[in-house]
Amino acid sequence: MADAKLHQFAGGGEPQTRALDERMFGATVNEDLLYRAVRMQLANRRQGTHSTKTRGEVSGGGRKPWRQKGTGRARAGSRRSPLWVGGGTTFGPKPRSYETKLTRKMKQGALFSALSDRAGEERLTLIDRIGFEEPKTKTAVELLNRLGLSGSVLVVVGSSEYQRPIKKSFTNLPRVKCIACGGVNVYDILRHDHLLMTVGAVEELEERFRT
């Protein structure tokens, strides 16, 4: 049975234990799917706008540098040759798309593996809500310290909870990232040491994959 400690935002009392969806948080970790998902995310972030000029695109080279024979020098037909300084590039990079795709089931399996990995290693922490009244980094630091979360932390809140006070409170913390539940992804989960989720985010995630 998958479960995690549930803390109260208001503080006070010992944390409770909340049962989690076994299919999402108790699945067998598939490392191959995790690798494929991370590679897909990083590849799809690449703009692919790199470009070099071939010998047909560089300027100059309108005439033969010198006559073919009799000079004692090597034959040369154009200053745009890749052998010359300022010449074109041979087989250089051109704009292209690095986009890769995974099936819906593979994406879902990778996400379940990432969530199950954090839950299995007891690096998943739940909180009933995050109710910052105003943006304040000090308040966010105090909350993380009270929960015992050191290192890098990914904070996931429900879509309706993702308001300015919460976003701004975590923005200035270099090793903390706050996202809405709709944006939860494999790469962010794996690159952070701890995963902090509100109950609203967990319920929203369970509802999304209920069928």
Q: What is the pTM of this model?
A: 0.85
Q: Is 46:92 a contact under the CB 8 Å cutoff?
A: no
Structure-model confidence comparison of residues 210 and 115, the more confident one: 115
Provide the pairing of β-strand 3-7 with 124-127.
parallel
The answer, yes or no, to whether residue 6 has pLDDT greater than 80, is yes
Residue 155 confidence class, pLDDT cut points 50, 70, 90 = very high
Q: 7: pLDDT confidence band, cut at 50, 70 and 90?
A: very high
Query: What is residue 11's predicted lDDT score, i.e. its pLDDT?
Result: 75
Q: How far is CA 115 from the centre of its chain?
A: 15
Separation of alpha carbons 15 and 6, rounded Å: 5
Write out pLDDT tens, residues 27-82.
Answer: 999 999 999 999 999 999 999 999 999 999 999 888 999 999 999 999 999 999 99
pLDDT for res 74: 95
Domains and CATH numbers, the chain: 3-31+102-208 (3.40.1370.10), 47-97 (no CATH)
Say yes or no to pLDDT of 200 above 90. Answer: yes
Q: What is the structure's pLDDT at 2?
A: 84
